[in-house]
Amino acid sequence: MSSNNDNENPTVTTSQGYPIPSPFETQRVGEHGPLLLQDFNLIDSLAHFDRERIPERVVHAKGAGAFGEFEVTDDITDICGSAIFDTIGKKTRALVRFSTVGGESGSPDAARDPRGFAIKFYTEEGNLDWVYNNTPIFFLRDPIKFPHFIHTQKRNPQTHLKDPNMFWDYMTQNQEAIHQFMILFSDRGTPATFRHMHGFSGHTYKWSNKQGEWFYVQVHLLTDQGIKNFTNEEAGKIAGENPDHATEDLFNAIANKEYPSWTVYFQVMTEAQAKELPFSVFDLTKVWSHKDFPLRRFGKLTLNENPQNYFAEIEQVAFSPSHTVPYQEPSADPVLQSRLFSYPDTQRYRLGTNYAQIPVNCPYAKTFNPILRDGAMTVNGNYGAAPNYISTIENPVEYKTQSNFNYQSNQEKWQGPALPFHWKVEGDIDYVQARALYRDVLSKQPDQQKHLAHNISVHVANALPVIQDRVFEAFAKVDQQLSDDIKAEVLQLSPRSKDQSTQKL
Ligand code: HEM
């Protein structure tokens, strides 16, 4: 479509190409008389403007993105047979969108929140999406909790305000969330920019090689810019002064040719090793030990091109963990399995039935699927006269059999009755890694244990005393010192009268 933008002096036209010499004119009766319905330009302009907004993402609504490339630096064909990794030095075009999670499209980039780190690779075998976060774990392992959890992070249905009671009520009822809440309330919960943070698959995925062997893997993208975080107070200040600071930082860095990059690694585990873990390999609230499962480097992701049009290329991009390529598969992690459904479902609502035909979502790889036809906004030619079923009469297509994919012949074997299942674990296992984060990691970083207690306290101080007490109890299961520090600061910030300590929700 010609947009007239290439001309030195573009002519303004209606949407139908009618030239409008004076764009601010309206057709009316006499100088100050009523307007005319025949003024297509006015109606065209107002009607289009009235429809400019589409639903924002239900989560991760605020974000920024850029194009770039993924380069293979090390051979991993012993683990993964995907074409994107088949040759050292091979480069594949990519698009990355970074985001916060809970806020609306205009909310501050500096919010305390996980950051989304979603990547689309335009590979010769179709689009591969890695829809990751900047944290190696997540808040839950039962997918049906996701809408409940997200509601507690968003606005109260009556007050339309963020609500510390809902927020901490959720955490204190769901012990598997405590590890991620600790990451969130450390200074890692307020990264200084999108460039100064890592990305993690979080989930366990399954990769296989061309010999038919398969492996559990987790992917890590480690920032080459180094980690930089804000303190709670710095984040609050910048959120007020420049709510778009990270969006601006990313755009300016790329415009100034300071291209951000990430070195890409994976951890690998066999099925036998997974059976020896003290937790399930499908439990998204746990990390894999780096000592037992060392990082193996295989690539570099570099962002070197700003979008030309934010709405077309970033707002309309549709990522999904179900957009994958041969030799990379989801694992049985139930949260991942649910995500495979949820993303294309929300995109059919957010962008429309034919969201895959939007240029930024179109694979560069050649596609052909005779039954994906019609629907609102069919703009790709709709395969012309080709048959809309697998035809042997007209234009027969030679269908490749699955054998060229050489998928694992040796998959996990599942069996058992179909039962409702709420994933609860016995004993202390949900606290072990949270405790290690506090005692072994944060203790080695200056002031980080204190910052964690402080960042939690200033938030919890706004909750009801009965909720505050539950928070003290929850963190005591991680470490008594952490709980004591939180309690001391909370009670200082929100002193209690006697009757308040027995207040019920
Ligand atoms: C049951 C669990 C989850 C559900 C149901 C869910 C659902 C969603 C939905 C509906 C969106 C909006 C997508 C769009 O409008 O295009 C979204 C965005 C996103 N989610 Fe999730 N999510 C879940 C868990 C996770 C996890 C565990 C991660 C990371 C490991 C994650 C990372 C992201 C990212 C990065 C985005 C933003 C993608 C973009 O930039 O367009 N989500 N999620």
When mean pLDDT is compared across 63-77, 376-390, 487-501, the lowest value belongs to: 487-501
Which of helix, strand or coil describes residue 66? strand
Q: Which position among 41, 127, 133, 354 bears the catalytic label?
A: 133
Where along the chain do its domains lie?
A: 1-52, 63-139+189-361, 431-502
Instruction: Round the CA-based radius of gyration of the chain to a whole number and report it.
Output: 26
Give the whole-angstrom CA distance, residue 155 versus residue 237: 22
Query: For 429-449, what is the mean pLDDT?
Result: 97
Mean pLDDT of the chain: 94
Q: Would residue 60 show up in a list of annotated catalytic residues for this protein?
A: yes
Ligand 1 neighbourhood includes 120 CB (under 6 angstroms): no
Which of helix, strand or coil describes residue 122? strand
Portion of the chain with pLDDT greater than 70, in percent = 93
Residue 393 confidence (pLDDT): 77
Ligand 1 neighbourhood includes 342 CB (under 6 angstroms): yes
292 — pLDDT class (breaks 50, 70, 90) = very high
Ligand 1 neighbourhood includes 319 CB (under 6 angstroms): yes
Q: How far is the centre of ligand 1, averaged over its atoms, from the C-alpha of 89 (Å)?
A: 31
Q: Is the pLDDT of residue 6 over 80?
A: no
The answer to whether the CB of 490 falls within 8 A of the CB of 457 is: yes
Please report, in range form, the residues annotated as the binding site for heme: 343
Q: Is the pLDDT of residue 183 over 70?
A: yes
State CA 302 to chain mean position distance: 18
The answer to whether the CB of 74 falls within 8 A of the CB of 87 is: no
Ligand 1 neighbourhood includes 133 CB (under 6 angstroms): yes
Residue 385 confidence (pLDDT): 87
Give the whole-angstrom CA distance, residue 74 versus residue 459: 45
Supply the DSSP symbol for 115. Answer: E
Q: Mind listing the pLDDT tens digit for each residue in 301-338?
A: 999 999 999 999 999 999 999 999 999 999 999 999 99
Residue 403 confidence (pLDDT): 52
Q: How far is the centre of ligand 1, averaged over its atoms, from the C-alpha of 205 (Å)?
A: 16
Q: Would residue 454 show up in a list of annotated catalytic residues for this protein?
A: no
Residue 4 confidence (pLDDT): 46
Q: Is the pLDDT of residue 503 over 90?
A: no
Look up the CATH superfamily of 63-139+189-361: Catalase core domain (2.40.180.10)
Residue 407 confidence (pLDDT): 61
Ligand 1 neighbourhood includes 347 CB (under 6 angstroms): yes
For ligand 1, atom 6, name the residue with the nearest CA.
339
Q: Which segments within 193-338 are labelled E, that is strand?
A: 199-200, 205-208, 214-223, 261-269, 296-305, 328-330
Please report, in range form, the residues annotated as the binding site: 343
| Burial group, residue 18, by CB count within 10 angstroms (0-12, 13-18, 19+) | exposed
Residue 408 confidence (pLDDT): 62
Number of the ligand 1 atom closest to the C-alpha atom of 345: 10
| Choices 3.40.630.30, 3.50.50.60, 1.20.120.1200, 4.10.91.20: CATH for 1-52 | 4.10.91.20
Ligand 1 neighbourhood includes 57 CB (under 6 angstroms): yes
Query: For 168-188, what is the mean pLDDT?
Result: 98
Q: Is the pLDDT of residue 1 over 60?
A: no
Partners of 231 in beta bridges: none
* H or E element in which residue 71 lies: strand 63-72
Residue 502 confidence (pLDDT): 47
Query: For 398-409, what is the mean pLDDT?
Result: 57
Q: Mind listing the pLDDT tens digit for each residue in 189-245?
A: 999 999 999 999 999 999 999 988 999 999 999 999 999 999 999 999 999 999 999
Q: Mind listing the pLDDT tens digit for each residue in 246-256?
A: 999 999 999 99
For ligand 1, atom 13, name the residue with the nearest CA.
343
Supply the DSSP symbol for 112. Answer: S
Portion of the chain with pLDDT greater than 90, in percent = 85
- Provide the token pair at 78: 């012993």
Residue 361: which of 332, 320, 406 has the closest Cα?
Answer: 320
Residue 93: which of 250, 259, 314, 304 has the closest Cα?
Answer: 304
Number of the ligand 1 atom closest to the C-alpha atom of 131: 35
Which of helix, strand or coil describes residue 303? strand
For ligand 1, atom 30, name the residue with the nearest CA.
132
Q: Residue 264: which residues within 8 A CB-CB, separation 6 or more?
A: 70, 219, 220, 221, 222, 297, 298, 299, 300, 301
For ligand 1, atom 11, name the residue with the nearest CA.
59
Tell me the three-class secondary structure of 385-401, residue by residue.
CCCCCCCCCCCCCCCCC
DSSP 9-51: SPPPB-TT--B-SSTT---BSTTTS-B-TT-HHHHHHHHHHHT
Ligand 1 neighbourhood includes 335 CB (under 6 angstroms): yes
Q: How far is the centre of ligand 1, averaged over its atoms, from the C-alpha of 59 (Å)?
A: 7
Q: How far is the centre of ligand 1, averaged over its atoms, from the C-alpha of 328 (Å)?
A: 19
2 — pLDDT class (breaks 50, 70, 90) = very low
When mean pLDDT is compared across 47-51, 222-226, 421-425, the lowest value belongs to: 421-425
Longest dimension (CA), the chain: 85
Ligand 1 neighbourhood includes 63 CB (under 6 angstroms): yes
When mean pLDDT is compared across 16-30, 175-189, 218-232, the lowest value belongs to: 16-30
Please report, as a single letter, which amino acid is at residue 497: S
Q: Mind listing the pLDDT tens digit for each residue in 71-115?
A: 999 999 999 999 999 999 999 999 999 999 999 999 999 999 999
Q: How far is the centre of ligand 1, averaged over its atoms, from the C-alpha of 23 (Å)?
A: 42
Give the whole-angstrom CA distance, residue 423 versus residue 286: 14
For ligand 1, atom 25, name the residue with the nearest CA.
339
CA distances from 207 to 77, 78, 430, 460 (A): 10, 10, 27, 42
Ligand 1 neighbourhood includes 346 CB (under 6 angstroms): yes
Residue 23 confidence (pLDDT): 87
Residue 288: which of 201, 352, 167 has the closest Cα?
Answer: 201
The answer to whether the CB of 463 falls within 8 A of the CB of 471 is: yes
Give the whole-angstrom CA distance, residue 452 versus residue 456: 6
Residue 380 confidence (pLDDT): 85
Q: Is the pLDDT of residue 409 over 80?
A: no
Supply the DSSP symbol for 12. Answer: P
Tell whether the torsion through CA atoms of 51, 57, 62 and 67 is positive or negative.
negative
Tell me which of 56, 174, 341, 342 to substitute to probe ligand 1's pocket, judged by most ligand atoms within 8 Å of the beta carbon.
342
The answer to whether the CB of 287 falls within 8 A of the CB of 433 is: yes
Give the whole-angstrom CA distance, residue 286 versus residue 215: 18
Number of the ligand 1 atom closest to the C-alpha atom of 338: 1
